Amino acid sequence: RKIKSEQLDSYQNILDLIKVFGDDIKTMGGKPSAKQKDNFTLFLARNTNGNSVMKHMVFELKKRLG
């Protein structure tokens, strides 16, 4: 909620990641959906330079979703 109440332009990558995790919770960790993969691809594309976050998790997420 905090992210959504502030400037969304700075946090688009985080919002994409939240969608990925939300879909993962809905499917109880089952097979990733196409929507989940698309949101992860958007996260990777937006997760650059000054907006880069969660570098330590990207490798594990790529194994699961990539």
Q: What is the pLDDT of residues 31-40, one digit of tens each?
A: 888 999 999 9
Which pLDDT score, from 0 to 100, does residue 28 have?
82
Judged against a pLDDT cut of 80, whether residue 63 lies above it is answered with: yes
Contact assessment for residue 64 and residue 29, using Cβ atoms and an 8 Å cutoff? no
- For residue 40, give both structure tokens: 């992860």
The predicted model gives 10-23 an average pLDDT of: 86
The predicted model gives 42-53 an average pLDDT of: 84
Return d(Cα 40, Cα 44) in angstroms, integer.
Answer: 6
Give the list of residues 6+ apart from residue 15 with CB closer than 8 angstroms, or none: 3, 4, 8
What average pLDDT is seen over the chain?
A: 83
Which pLDDT score, from 0 to 100, does residue 55 have?
80
Other Cβ atoms less than 10 A from the Cβ of 49: the count is 5
Return d(Cα 40, Cα 61) in angstroms, integer.
Answer: 8
